[in-house]
Amino acid sequence: MAKEISFAVRDRLFRMAKRSTLPWHRAWLIRLIAVSCSLIVCALIIVAITKQNPIDIYLGIIDGAVGKSRRIWATVRETLVLLIIAIGLTPAFKMRFWNIGAEGQLLMGGAAGAAVMIYLTGIVPGWMVLILVFVASILAGMLWGLLPAVFKAYFHTNETLFTLMMNYVAIQIVTVCIVFWENPPGSNFVGVINSDSEIGWLPKLFGLSYGWNLILVLSVTIGMFIYMKYSKQGYEIAVVGESSHTARYAGINIKKVIIRTMLISGGICGFAGAIIVSGASHTISTTIGNGRGFTAIIVAWMAKFNPIVMILVSFFLVFMQQGSIQIATQFGLNENASNIITGIILFFLIGSEFFINYKLEFRKQAKEVQG
Which stretch of DSSP H or E encloses residue 181? helix 159-181
Do both 141 and 186 map to the same domain? yes
Highest mean pLDDT among 19-23, 52-56, 221-225, 291-295: 221-225
Residue 296 shares a structural domain with residue 343: no
Give yes or no: residues 258 and 171 share one domain: yes
In a domain, 370, yes or no: yes
| pLDDT score of 1 | 44
Strand partners, 7: 369
In a domain, 123, yes or no: yes
Q: What is residue 7's predicted lDDT score, i.e. its pLDDT? A: 44
pLDDT computed for residue 6 by the predictor = 47
pLDDT range class, residue 16, cuts 50, 70, 90:
confident
Residues 31, 166: one domain? no
Cβ atoms of 261 and 269 closer than 8 Å: no
Name the pTM for this structure: 0.88
Residue 325 lies in a domain: no
Position 325 confidence tier, pLDDT thresholds 50, 70, 90: confident
42 with 95, same domain: the answer is no
Query: Measuring CA to CA, which residue among 31, 55, 61 is closest to residue 43?
Result: 55
* Owning domain of residue 227: 68-314
**Does the pLDDT at position 186 exceed 80?**
no
Write down the pLDDT at residue 339: 75
- 117's enclosing H/E stretch is helix 102-120
Are residues 357 and 238 both part of a single domain? no
186 and 150, same structural domain? yes
Look at residue 251 and tell me if it is in a domain: yes
Classify residue 323: in a domain, yes or no. Answer: no
Instruction: Clarify whether residues 286 and 229 are in a common domain.
Output: yes
Whether residue 153 is predicted with pLDDT greater than 90 in this model: the reply is yes
Looking at the structure, tell me whether residues 363 and 308 fall in a common domain.
no
Identify the CATH number of the domain in which residue 81 sits: 1.10.3470
The tally of domains found in the chain comes to 2
Task: Pick the range with the lowest mean pLDDT from 65-69, 133-137, 143-147.
Answer: 65-69
Judgement on whether residues 140 and 175 belong to the same structural domain of the protein? yes
Q: Which amino acid is at 173?
A: I
Residue 235 lies inside a defined structural domain of this protein: yes
Stretch 277-299: mean pLDDT: 92
Q: What is the pLDDT of residue 9?
A: 47
- Measured from the Cβ of residue 312, the count of other Cβ atoms closer than 10 Å reads 15
CB 82 within 8 A of CB 292: yes
CB neighbourhood size of 284 (10 A): 27
The b/e string for 254-278 (b: 16+ C-beta within 10 A; e otherwise) is eeebbbbbbbbbbbbbbbbbbbbbb
Please state, rounded to an integer, the average pLDDT across all residues of the chain: 88
Q: What is the pLDDT of residue 365?
A: 53
Residues 170, 106: one domain? yes
Identify whether residues 303 and 213 lie together within a single domain: yes
